[in-house]
Amino acid sequence: MSNVDVTVVDINPEHGTSTNAALQYKDPQDVPGRKRKANLHFSTNINKAIEEADLIFVCVNTPTKANGIGKDAAADLAFVETAARNIAYVAKEDKIVVEKPTVPCRTAQSIREILSANANPGVRFDVLSNPEFLAEGTAVRDLLTPDRVIIGSETTPEGIRAATSLVEVYSLWIPRERIITMNLWSSELSKLAANALLAERISSVNALSAIYEVTGADVNVVSHAYGLDSRIGPHMLKAGPGFGGRYGLTRLFFFNSWLTTAPGSYFQKDIFNIVYLSESLHL
């Protein structure tokens, strides 16, 4: 990545960038065998970073809405919208804006509308979707060797050119065949859909574990046995208290407030998100 300069900025100086995150990445224990390179910077000067960047990754939080329409279910996009407005006000040259948070389908379109409505004269924005699939317990490994990187763009020549720029960045450390391009909405949905399928899987394992308890079968032995089936695979097969029940996905979808996940996990919020999307579409 020596030919790419990365500046991490955050609105909240206490929240990571200039202090905690910098220290984290300096610590060789967090990133084994690695040291923070000279091309990685941390700052709270957001406007300067916007002015200087060619590609801007918006990585802000998207919590579950606490009020209003979609309370306790939909994603709150206020932070995404504020970040987009700020980019539009500050940028004096064309930029590629990369939507990184987990968001409902068609959020990229809203970002594009906010950028265009607030843009300085003559400035053009391309918006890409690039959802993050890392799990917190394996964050660095997932960053370095992801199963796949998804990049969604508009299918116009400009959109494809913007996607190519981001592909080039990821290609610096990820094999090209693991970088998949598609349209914006497919990309946004690929994130929520993956979480829905993973949740359904754990939910099913939990449902099966209820049978094991009654019959005396060993849940670990049985899950190892079916995890060896190449169509199933070994991951996300541990029974756990967070997911529920014998009704599997149906229960998960229709009684979603019952779903809980481990502290710190965004899984629950993402499942609420897709449940809300599905209900909004009257499906």
Single out the residue of 236, 246, 249, 256 in contact with ligand UPG (rule: CB under 6 A): 236
Residues 119-148 that bind ligand NAD (CB under 6 A): 132, 134, 136
- Integer CA distances (angstroms), 276 to 55, 257, 265, in order: 31, 12, 19
Distance (Å, whole) CA 125 – CA 109: 12
Binding mask 190-219 for ligand UPG (x = CB under 6 A): -----x--x---x-----------------
Single out the residue of 60, 174, 207, 249 in contact with ligand NAD (rule: CB under 6 A): 60
9 vs 196, which CB is nearer to ligand NAD? 9
Binding mask 5-44 for ligand NAD (x = CB under 6 A): ----xxxx--xx----------------------------
- Integer CA distances (angstroms), 252 to 240, 259, 272, in order: 14, 7, 9
Tell me 255's DSSP state: T
Tell me 122's DSSP state: T
Backbone angles phi, psi at 234, to 5 degrees: -90, -10
Single out the residue of 11, 117, 135, 225 in contact with ligand UPG (rule: CB under 6 A): 135
Angle at 171 between CA 166 and CA 173, to 5 degrees: 125
3-state SS, residue 7: strand
Q: How far is the CB of 211 from ligand NAD (least distance, A)?
A: 32
Can you tell me which residue has the tokens 């084994």? 32
Q: Which residues of 193-208 are buried (b: 16+ CB within 10 A; e: fewer)?
A: ebbbebbbbbbbbbbb
Residues 78-107 that bind ligand NAD (CB under 6 A): 79, 82-83, 86, 101-102
DSSP percent split of the chain into helix, strand, coil, nearest 5: 50, 10, 40
Q: Residue 237 binds which one of ligand NAD, ligand UPG, none, with CB within 5 to 8 A depending on kind?
A: ligand UPG
Look up residue 86 and give its amino acid: N
Interface residues with ligand UPG (CB under 6 A) are: 102, 132-137, 195, 198, 202, 236-238, 240, 242-243, 261-262, 265-267, 270
Interface residues with ligand NAD (CB under 6 A) are: 9-12, 15-16, 46, 59-62, 79, 82-83, 86, 101-102, 132, 134, 136, 266
